[in-house]
């Protein structure tokens, strides 16, 4: 058999070989007039490049093969490589997919240039057409184009063979924290152009209306013909003029050489509507390349946004404004297809982001599908476009390894060439977690020369010394920096660059504690400008439980509200039988794998709200928190929430207030007179008309202020039936299935586990407290019960004084924590009710889940939810469903029987179907068996959530101090 030269070259172990036969990247979008080759292809999986199995099957393109049941499953590792080979080598067992199909080349393409585009292939692509070697490409997240004009015959049929090699030298620089997949993950297409064509188009549009379009003209069949010219039209009418000075500098016809022509068009648009993320104004531009006789040889369409981005001092300015960057990191992810995402999927992602107040995206950690940037332009996002370079496991070796130099420059430059015309892209990123070396400087040098119009960032360059101005980063973009460090830097007098965290507030499980504290610091400290939450997605793959396979496309509809359908679960690391994996660390997003927002999203929505309220000394102010818009696009309603049960509402007139300004408005209700009259004023803000991302009437935010403080009168003891306790001093009550006892533990969150708190709690034995009653004293109708709990950190003394009061029992409790127990999960009471109490009504913060350090987005109100809806199905079961600041609640059955609890002080409360130990014992949500009754926790103190799974723990003010804790509650059964 003839030796295949592409195999003989062994490109999978040659980092110097970044491509062969591949055409230069450009920004002319050919997707619309192309022949799609998506669909079913013949497919063969072979154990190594060059091998053959002879067994053909079918596969869907685009689609990772790891999601299509062909014998190679997804594997999750964070930063460690899934195998031990050192760069640039990879394992000899190297799954290789051979894709084949025939394609009829239209007869009318005769004499034209014919180009194959492979949207993305992971990690090495070899192209053969009709048995001829055509090309090689690397970079799993950028398209590769090959000129097939000489190897296919119009009117005939061609056989395309795309060989995709899973592991390679390139895997070492694609070591991102995500699932390892393989295959062709984006669309494949063929397109045709005239031999005379637009090689590239570069658009620069400024906020003042200046527009410049640089065109490269090439001819595939030899020297450029005489007399060609280029025209441009904006929105169909405004014609762009040739730049005469530019013409003079170049020969007539703007021909630079026999093979390269250049044309520069320009115009100034009067009264231009500038592009910003708040006002994503786009103009259609059509560029035409003409032959001497005026006929059109090629056309290119662009959507232009007029905007400026610059760094002045330590501020990043968009159109002259220091905008806040309310960002989120986004991977291309789908629970059924892995990395293959459609434009509709991406639109849905961006719609959710918009509805929850995000205005920026970092394309972690590679150029996303090109449609993402079209959508970002259209819906309005600031984008940090990141190159596909992460050498995490071998970062230090690779950053200076000259064998990888070409790959670094190739990946960064091709991204810039593809994406340079998008107004949404305001910053280039050299990649992620790859240390810092000469290879980065080389890539940075290329970008700075090629596109001086945008800043450049790279976390690895800026991190050693935030004040170092010489490194390859115009922005200090740390990850998970503590709030105090950021503030200290901004106040140090040494800050020279904007500080925008490329990752912060790790959203793994029940997390994002202290988000509001971050933003309080950012908004009050010049020099701090925001950051990107890690991350958007929980990357759970929908998996069939019976055979452990990815459900794949057959899983459509087999999930709802964040939960996989029966017989299915969200797989994380290890669930596909991988021995090397990093577990649930892959599930760290603000949305579940089906894009259902986690409660943390509501916290973000409120922090990012365009409208805010303040109320002080009788003055009610409405603040416009936007940078570019008035409040005209919003409509609102006032709600007055009174402690005594009522909520009144009235339409609100939003004041005409300029961006970043405030206006005083009248309090729309009479103010409460007595101190008992705790009252809250909420402004429910919705969209006034249809937005591209939200139909009219979509809730945008719920800012709230407190109008009057309240006091709760202590219930008066009455003579009545004495409280009944058993010989252990445990309360006996018909509504309770398990009596109220002390609880100091919660089912560890991911932050608790990874941050090490859970291990200490287990060492102290808090997960299995053993209660010893030491005293039961009756005084009148009341009873005092003293119990002791022996822990690894000393004895905890717990007292309950149970007194009959009108309609029920008052329970006054205290717990004394020895000094060693200086960081427990909670101090409070847990009990279980009888079955059938399915609805919780409460007065307190809500309606969504909230915790002490994540409660800025949950307004006080009268809320009501089914108990099953209170629970948040975090992928790895953990503490869930809490509600902060609860003053009273009722749990009731459909026949109105049930219980009410009045709390002595606003408390953290949860009512779920699971004991903490049930949650802690389960690895997946589908393993949980709901209990018939409700497990109710009322906590005098509850530890903040923090973000310790990656980054800082919660601040000390949200920790629970040792010493005496007291709380009181009143239980009634109406």
Q: Enumerate the active-site residues.
A: 433, 503
* Least spacing, CB of residue 390 vs Mg ion, in Å: 6
E-assigned strand segments in 818-917 = 826-833, 839-845, 860-866, 883-892, 898-912
CB nearer to ligand GAL: give 62 or 952.
952
Binding partner at 385 among Mg ion, ligand GAL, none, C-beta below 5 to 8 Å by kind: none
Distance, in Å, from the CA atom of 851 to the CA atom of 502, rounded to the nearest integer, reads: 25
Report if residue 432 touches ligand GAL, rule: CB under 6 A.
yes
First to last CA, the chain: 87
Distance, in Å, from the CA atom of 21 to the CA atom of 132, rounded to the nearest integer, reads: 12
CB nearer to ligand GAL: give 358 or 969.
358
Binding partner at 503 among ligand GAL, Mg ion, none, C-beta below 5 to 8 Å by kind: ligand GAL
CB atoms within 10 A of CB 398: 27
Which residues in the 185-204 window bind ligand GAL by CB under 6 A? none
| Cross-sheet strand order for the sheet of 132-138 | 19-20, 132-138, 124-129, 157-165, 96-104, 39-46, 57-61
* Least spacing, CB of residue 759 vs Mg ion, in Å: 24
* Least spacing, CB of residue 439 vs Mg ion, in Å: 17
Which residues in the 856-915 window bind ligand GAL by CB under 6 A? none
* Least spacing, CB of residue 176 vs Mg ion, in Å: 6
Contact call for residues 510 and 750 (beta carbons, < 8 A): yes
Q: Supply the Cα-derived Rg of the chain in whole angstroms.
A: 31
* Least spacing, CB of residue 864 vs ligand GAL, in Å: 36
Distance, in Å, from the CA atom of 723 to the CA atom of 65, rounded to the nearest integer, reads: 66
- Cross-strand bridge partners of residue 289: 230, 298
Token digits of residue 739:
């009596």
* C-alpha 226, offset from chain centre: 52
Distance, in Å, from the CA atom of 797 to the CA atom of 814, rounded to the nearest integer, reads: 8
* Least spacing, CB of residue 431 vs ligand GAL, in Å: 10
Residues 6+ apart with CB under 8 A from 251: none
CB nearer to ligand GAL: give 519 or 534.
534
Token digits of residue 858:
């949950």
CA contacts within 13 A on the Cβ side of 231? 12
Count of residues in the chain: 974
Report if residue 534 touches ligand GAL, rule: CB under 6 A.
yes
Distance, in Å, from the CA atom of 910 to the CA atom of 748, rounded to the nearest integer, reads: 15
Distance, in Å, from the CA atom of 160 to the CA atom of 223, rounded to the nearest integer, reads: 30
* Least spacing, CB of residue 30 vs ligand GAL, in Å: 32
Going residue by residue from 147 to 186, which x/- string records binding to ligand GAL, judged by CB under 6 A? -----------------------------xx---------
CB nearer to Mg ion: give 460 or 844.
460
Going residue by residue from 489 to 508, which x/- string records binding to ligand GAL, judged by CB under 6 A? --------------x--x--
Residues 6+ apart with CB under 8 A from 702: 606, 682, 683, 684, 685, 857, 859
Token digits of residue 388:
């596909």
Identified binder of ligand GAL from the candidate list 377, 588, 603, 939, rule CB under 6 A: 588
Judged by the rule CB under 5 A, the positions of this chain that interact with Mg ion are 79, 177, 392, 433
CB nearer to ligand GAL: give 11 or 530.
530
CB nearer to Mg ion: give 392 or 604.
392
Identified binder of ligand GAL from the candidate list 528, 886, 909, 950, rule CB under 6 A: 950
Which residues in the 710-729 window bind ligand GAL by CB under 6 A? none
Q: Which residue is nearest to ligand GAL (CB)?
A: 177
Q: Quote the DSSP letter at residue 2.
A: P
CB nearer to Mg ion: give 80 or 706.
80
* Least spacing, CB of residue 79 vs ligand GAL, in Å: 7
CB nearer to ligand GAL: give 364 or 919.
364
Which residues in the 75-114 window bind ligand GAL by CB under 6 A? 78
Report if residue 582 touches ligand GAL, rule: CB under 6 A.
no
* Least spacing, CB of residue 507 vs ligand GAL, in Å: 9
Token digits of residue 184:
């062709």
CB nearer to ligand GAL: give 583 or 836.
583
* Least spacing, CB of residue 513 vs Mg ion, in Å: 23
CB nearer to ligand GAL: give 200 or 535.
535
Report if residue 955 touches ligand GAL, rule: CB under 6 A.
no
* C-alpha 521, offset from chain centre: 22
CB nearer to Mg ion: give 459 or 849.
459
Binding partner at 534 among Mg ion, ligand GAL, none, C-beta below 5 to 8 Å by kind: ligand GAL
Contact call for residues 382 and 277 (beta carbons, < 8 A): yes
H or E stretch at 490: helix 483-491
Task: Give how many residues touch ligand GAL by CB under 6 A.
Answer: 12
* Least spacing, CB of residue 951 vs ligand GAL, in Å: 8
Return the axis-axis angle of helices 438-450 and 405-419, rounded to nearest 10°: 30
Distance, in Å, from the CA atom of 756 to the CA atom of 640, rounded to the nearest integer, reads: 43
Binding partner at 479 among ligand GAL, Mg ion, none, C-beta below 5 to 8 Å by kind: ligand GAL
Identified binder of ligand GAL from the candidate list 13, 72, 385, 433, rule CB under 6 A: 433
Q: Which of 805, 825, 808, 806 is nearest to 817 (CA)?
A: 825
Contact call for residues 859 and 702 (beta carbons, < 8 A): yes
CB nearer to ligand GAL: give 154 or 583.
583
* Least spacing, CB of residue 534 vs ligand GAL, in Å: 5
Give ∠ CA 466-467-471 in degrees, rounded to 5: 80
Residue 304: cis peptide before it, omega within 30 degrees of 0: no
CB nearer to ligand GAL: give 459 or 879.
459
Going residue by residue from 735 to 754, which x/- string records binding to ligand GAL, judged by CB under 6 A? --------------------
Report if residue 479 touches ligand GAL, rule: CB under 6 A.
yes
Binding partner at 496 among Mg ion, ligand GAL, none, C-beta below 5 to 8 Å by kind: none
Which residues in the 361-420 window bind ligand GAL by CB under 6 A? 365
Return the axis-axis angle of helices 343-355 and 370-379, rounded to nearest 10°: 40
Distance, in Å, from the CA atom of 749 to the CA atom of 763, rounded to the nearest integer, reads: 17
- The answer to whether the Cα torsion of 568, 921, 507, 78 is positive or negative is negative
Contact call for residues 604 and 515 (beta carbons, < 8 A): yes
Contact call for residues 99 and 163 (beta carbons, < 8 A): yes
Which DSSP string do the residues of 392-434 spell out, in sequence order?
A: GGGHHHHHT-GGGHHHHHHHHHHHHHHHTT-TTEEEEE--SS-
* Least spacing, CB of residue 318 vs ligand GAL, in Å: 25
* C-alpha 330, offset from chain centre: 5
- Cross-strand bridge partners of residue 286: 233, 301
Residues near ligand GAL (CB under 6 A): 78, 176-177, 365, 432-433, 479, 503, 506, 534, 588, 950
């Amino acid at each position: 058999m003839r030796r295949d030269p592409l195999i003989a070259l062994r490109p999978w172990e040659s980092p110097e070989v970044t491509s062969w036969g591949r055409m230069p990247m450009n920004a002319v979008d050919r997707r619309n007039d192309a022949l799609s080759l998506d669909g079913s292809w013949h497919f063969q999986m072979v154990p190594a490049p060059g091998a053959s199995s002879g067994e053909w099957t079918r596969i869907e393109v685009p689609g990772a093969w790891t999601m299509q049941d062909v014998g190679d499953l997804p594997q999750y590792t964070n930063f460690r490589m899934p195998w031990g080979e050192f760069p640039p080598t990879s394992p000899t067992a190297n799954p290789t997919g051979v894709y084949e199909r025939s394609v009829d080349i239209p007869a009318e393409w005769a004499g034209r240039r014919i180009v194959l585009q492979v949207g993305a292939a992971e990690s090495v692509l070899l192209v053969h057409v009709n048995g001829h070697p055509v090309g090689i490409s690397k970079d799993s997240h950028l398209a590769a184009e090959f000129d097939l004009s000489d190897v296919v015959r119009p009117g005939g049929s061609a056989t395309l063979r795309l060989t995709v090699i899973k592991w390679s030298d390139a895997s070492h620089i694609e070591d991102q924290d995500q699932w390892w997949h393989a295959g062709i993950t984006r669309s494949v297409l063929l397109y045709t152009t005239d031999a005379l064509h637009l090689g590239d188009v570069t658009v620069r549009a400024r906020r003042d209306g200046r527009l410049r379009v640089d065109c490269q003209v090439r001819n595939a069949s030899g020297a450029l013909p005489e007399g060609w010219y280029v025209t441009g039209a904006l929105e169909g009418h405004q014609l762009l003029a040739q730049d005469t000075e530019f013409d003079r500098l170049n020969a007539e016809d703007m021909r630079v050489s026999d093979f390269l022509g250049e044309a520069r068009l320009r115009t100034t648009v009067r009264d231009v509507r500038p592009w910003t993320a708040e006002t994503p104004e786009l103009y259609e531009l059509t560029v035409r390349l003409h032959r001497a006789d005026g006929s059109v040889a090629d056309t290119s369409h662009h959507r232009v946004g007029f905007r400026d981005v610059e760094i002045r001092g330590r501020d990043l300015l968009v159109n002259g404004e220091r905008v806040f960057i309310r960002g989120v990191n986004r991977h291309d992810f789908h629970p059924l297809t892995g990395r293959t995402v459609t434009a509709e999927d991406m639109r849905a992602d961006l719609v959710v982001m918009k509805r929850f107040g995000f205005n920026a995206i970092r394309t972690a950690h590679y150029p996303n599908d090109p449609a993402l940037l079209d959508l970002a332009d259209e819906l309005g996002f600031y984008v940090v476009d990141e190159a596909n370079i992460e050498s995490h496991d071998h970062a230090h070796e690779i950053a200076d390894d000259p064998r990888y130099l070409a790959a670094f420059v190739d990946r960064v430059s091709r991204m810039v060439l593809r994406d340079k015309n998008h107004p949404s892209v305001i910053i280039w990123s050299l990649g992620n977690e790859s240390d810092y070396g000469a290879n980065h400087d080389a890539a940075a040098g290329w970008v700075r020369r090629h596109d001086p119009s945008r800043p450049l960032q790279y976390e690895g360059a800026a991190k050693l010394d935030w004040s170092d101005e010489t490194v390859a980063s115009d922005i200090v973009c740390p990850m998970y920096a503590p709030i105090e460090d950021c503030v200290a830097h901004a106040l140090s007098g040494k800050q020279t660059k904007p500080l925008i965290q490329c990752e912060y507030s790790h959203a793994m499980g029940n997390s994002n504690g202290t988000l509001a504290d971050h933003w309080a610091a950012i908004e009050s400290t010049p020099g701090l400008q925001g950051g990107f939450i890690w991350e958007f997605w929980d990357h759970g793959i929908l998996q069939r439980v019976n055979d452990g396979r990815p459900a794949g496309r057959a899983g459509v509809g087999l999930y709802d509200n964040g939960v996989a359908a029966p017989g299915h679960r969200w797989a994380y690391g290890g669930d596909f039988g991988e021995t090397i994996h990093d577990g649930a660390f892959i599930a760290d997003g603000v949305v579940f794998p089906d894009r259902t927002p986690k409660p943390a999203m509501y916290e973000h929505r409120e922090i990012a709200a365009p409208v805010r309220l303040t109320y002080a000394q009788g003055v009610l102010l409405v603040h416009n928190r936007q940078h570019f818009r008035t409040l005209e696009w919003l409509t609102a309603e006032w709600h007055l929430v009174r402690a005594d049960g009522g909520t009144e509402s009235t339409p609100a007139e939003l004041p005409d207030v300029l961006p970043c300004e405030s206006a005083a408005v009248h309090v729309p209700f009479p103010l409460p007179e007595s101190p008992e009259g705790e009252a809250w004023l909420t402004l429910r803000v919705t969209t006034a008309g249809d937005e591209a991302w939200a139909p009219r009437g979509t809730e945008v935010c719920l800012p709230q202020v407190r109008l009057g403080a309240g006091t709760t009168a202590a219930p008066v003891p009455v003579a009545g039936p004495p409280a009944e306790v058993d010989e252990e001093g445990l309360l006996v009550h018909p509504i309770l299935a398990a009596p109220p006892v002390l609880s100091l533990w919660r089912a560890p969150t991911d932050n608790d586990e990874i941050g090490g708190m859970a291990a200490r709690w287990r060492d102290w034995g808090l997960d299995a407290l053993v209660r010893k009653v030491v005293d039961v004293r009756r005084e009148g109708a009341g009873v005092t019960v003293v119990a002791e709990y022996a822990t690894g950190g000393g004895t905890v003394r717990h007292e309950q004084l149970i007194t009959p009061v009108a309609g029920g029992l008052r329970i006054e409790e205290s717990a004394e924590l020895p000094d060693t127990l200086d960081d427990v999960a909670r101090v409070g009471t847990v009990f279980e009710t009888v079955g059938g109490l399915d609805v919780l009504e409460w007065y307190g913060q809500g309606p969504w889940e909230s915790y002490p350090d994540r409660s800025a987005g949950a307004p006080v109100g009268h809320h009501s939810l089914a108990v099953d809806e209170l629970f948040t199905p975090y992928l790895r079961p953990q503490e869930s469903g809490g509600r902060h600041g609860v003053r009273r609640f009722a749990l009731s059955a459909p026949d109105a029987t049930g219980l009410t609890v009045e709390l002595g002080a606003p408390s953290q409360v949860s009512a779920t179907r699971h004991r903490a130990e049930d949650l802690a014992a389960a690895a997946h949500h589908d393993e949980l068996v709901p209990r018939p009754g409700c497990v109710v926790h009322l906590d005098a103190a509850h530890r903040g959530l923090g973000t310790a799974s990656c980054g800082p723990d919660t601040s000390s003010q949200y920790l629970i101090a040792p010493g005496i804790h007291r709380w009181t509650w009143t239980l009634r059964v109406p």
